[in-house]
Every structure is written in C-alpha cells, then in structure tokens.
Amino acid sequence: MNATRILQAGRQPMIRFLGKRTTPSHVDHAPQPHPASPTHSLPESFASYRQKAQQHGPLNQSRDYSSGVGSTPGSALGPVEAGKGFYFDRSELPARFQRMTWSQAEIEAIESGGASMFA
C-alpha cells in the first residue's frame, strides 16, 4: 500500500534539462529559400512563381476553357461500349441478377419494423 509513496519519493526524472530556459534576443524572420530547394533562391515575385508552378497541371493557363479538359462534350468522344462480360448498369444484367421487386407484404413489414408479421 505505502510502497507506491516510497517509490515515488525516490523517483528521479529521466530527462535532465541543462540550464535555465531562455528565448533568443533576436530572431531573423526574413524569407529564406528552403534548404531542399533546387534553385536555392527565392522567386522574384508571386506572379513569376505562378508562371512556373505546377499543381495538377500548369497554373498559368487562362480560364476561358476553350481548350483542354472539358472543352469538348463527351458525345464527341464517340460511343462507349462495355466489354464482353461487363455491364454499366444492373438492369443490363441477365434476369436472375436484376433487382427483385418488393411485394406489398414486404413493404409493410419493413415500415412497421417487422411487427406486422407477428400481429
């Protein structure tokens, strides 16, 4: 019972701090290039950075949407057919794999939480 108190009294912390905590008197907040930067330099301006930046494609494209992804309708790409043994919708499957229709008794059983089956 008292063994815990005895053990805690003689316990030494495993971490030893050297000296008193001090904050630096001067911290340089000037922009610095990242140490892993390929050019080891900062861009001249944000606009020049945007001209060269890539994120899921070039960022400097205009927003007129006249070319690129989405510029042509899907119907212009031609017909899309499923390969042999593949189906796009469950209604295209053979009858034994299609959705079964619910009977009125099943609908009532679900809506009542199953109580109508036993009443």
Output the DSSP codes for 15-71: ----S-----S----S----TT-SS-S--S-HHHHHHH-BSSSBS---SS-SSSTTS
Q: 39 CB contacts (<8 Å, ≥6 apart)? A: 33
Render pLDDT for 32-54 as a digit per residue (tens, 0 to 9): 998 998 888 888 888 877 777 76
Average pLDDT over residues 19-36: 88
Give the pLDDT band of residue 18 (cuts 50, 70, 90).
Answer: confident
With 0.75 as the threshold, say if the pTM is over it.
no
Q: How far apart are CA 110 and CA 100, in angstroms?
A: 16
Tell me what the pLDDT averaged over the chain comes to.
79
Give the distance, in angstroms, between the CA of residue 41 and the centroid of all CA atoms in the same chain. 31
